[in-house]
Copies of this chain bind each other. A is one copy, B any other.
């Protein structure tokens, strides 16, 4: 018998990078290592020596050196722990948050690493949750509507301030000198693969979901970009590339320098970059239509596959080859989920609860779950709109904000906690219904990410509210596993890997035995509450009462 072969997946998250070493034949996760980024999310001051450059509200940056340190600090560790011979590691895949983008020089050097630009916030990596490019997104949308750009339909009629060209246009608007100095504007995902392989190869997933590219039509026209700003006319040819590689392809091989960072063999196959959410889909066993994958963490990303392109208002995008080669990948999202629960725990729970949690050795989420699980659906009399971080799908509106209704003097923290969880589940149901109404089938849900592991009550609430069975990915680190699967595909069967992601999924991905099944009695109550949720959703989200936007305008004016 041939020797066991291994693949490595590296998942670049918001606060940390996570590496997993996976046995290719069985999908067994042999070793894991996590690097907590030195500079994390940079949202107040730039990490400079001896001077203070403060950031505006809504900014969120990262330091690209944290990505290199992730390789250096995790890959040698998983090799060491597992005792695996680097010879037997046949492929590496990476996935990233998106759109997380940065300006670099021709040779890949980030502008923020060059002393001349280092004090300019626009020289740094703009993280996915950088929300300061809303005026630019508004302009992109308005111009696209005026010019009747057909590609807008692929994004549910609206693109987000988080995406590539909103961030690009913000650089041009606010720091034209950085825009000029940038030879290349690139996704973090592709930049990292470039660092590993020495080759700048851009992936179809971020190009399709975040940069308005499609396999059949390419990017929007130069005319369109010129209408946004004359200086942007040739942005694709000058600072990007029209050659886009499908996920599932091989990007290249590890350079000697990258081999030194990682302890892997130079020449090891490296996969085309992928996105954390999308790479989790095959890791959650889904390579066919009908089962939606929910990546549940600080936010939720919803992904489902289809044989045909469909237009779904308010979805984040549909991209051919975007998730699984040869299929249309549909994506939607909720911009605040676990983040909202964390906000509540940090801001809304009294001292006595902390004392109880401490005495019982619980963390606050556990204590609140225990108390909230005693409530029957509808018993707390509360309803919330889950917009603490805006609404991604189906309204695509970062200016929306959170709402809680129904509080009385008897309302307890655990009741608000449960209402917030329920609100995010209603938000998921709105997304599922939008897909189904537009011909994209969602029969069953498969969950992965941090939340399903920790919170059984939450999963049951999601099953009750969506009316669908939920299964859970067996891997606690689906993105990293998915990246490793793509690493095995990059290596190919000749090297002991696989030739397609379908084969890799059959061997390397698994679900847990447990299934959450909707409870009929709960559904009856939640259906009533969902009607109320949708009524408020439409009232505050679709222009009947734009009070949330006006409050924000007043706030911004007062602050300025």
Give the residue name and chain of the B residue nearest to A557 (CB).
B378
Query: A383 near B: Cβ within 8 Å?
Result: yes
30 contacts between A and B (CB under 8 A): A339-B409, A347-B348, A347-B350, A347-B411, A349-B351, A350-B354, A377-B558, A378-B557, A378-B558, A379-B555, A380-B555, A383-B551, A402-B404, A402-B405, A402-B407, A402-B411, A403-B404, A403-B406, A403-B407, A404-B404, A404-B407, A406-B548, A525-B554, A528-B550, A528-B554, A529-B551, A529-B554, A532-B547, A532-B550, A539-B539
List B contacts of A379 (CB < 8 A): 555, 558-559
On whether the beta carbons of B558 and A532 are closer than 8 Å, the reply is no
Minimum CB–CB distance from A59 to chain B (whole Å) comes to 12
Give the residue name and chain of the B residue nearest to A355 (CB).
B351
Contact of A532 among B336, B381, B551 (CB under 8 A): B551
List B contacts of A528 (CB < 8 A): 550, 554
Chain A contacts with B in 523-537, Cβ cutoff 8 A: 525, 528-529, 532, 535-536
Contact of A551 among B343, B349, B381 (CB under 8 A): B381
Given A548-B405, A552-B381 in contact, is the A343-B558 Cβ separation under 8 Å? no
The answer for the CA separation of A231 and B479 in the assembled complex, in Å, is 73
Chain A contacts with B in 381-400, Cβ cutoff 8 A: 381-383, 388-389
Known: A402-B404, A402-B411, A536-B547. 15 other contacts (CB 8 A): A348-B348, A348-B350, A350-B354, A378-B557, A378-B558, A379-B555, A379-B558, A381-B555, A388-B409, A401-B406, A401-B408, A403-B406, A403-B407, A405-B548, A536-B545
Give the residue name and chain of the B residue nearest to A547 (CB).
B532
Closest 5 CB pairs of A and B: A402-B407, A381-B555, A351-B354, A378-B554, A378-B558
Contact of A558 among B351, B525, B550, B557 (CB under 8 A): B525
The answer for the CA separation of A262 and B484 in the assembled complex, in Å, is 86
Chain A contacts with B in 149-179, Cβ cutoff 8 A: none
Contact of A383 among B406, B547, B559 (CB under 8 A): B547
On whether the beta carbons of B351 and A351 are closer than 8 Å, the reply is yes
A 237-264 to B, binary, CB cutoff 8 A, 1 in contact else 0: 0000000000000000000000000000
List B contacts of A401 (CB < 8 A): 381, 405-408
Given A378-B558, A558-B379 in contact, is the A406-B347 Cβ separation under 8 Å? no
Query: A86 near B: Cβ within 8 Å?
Result: no
Chain B CB within 10 A, most for which of A401, A408, A548: A408
On whether the beta carbons of B408 and A402 are closer than 8 Å, the reply is yes
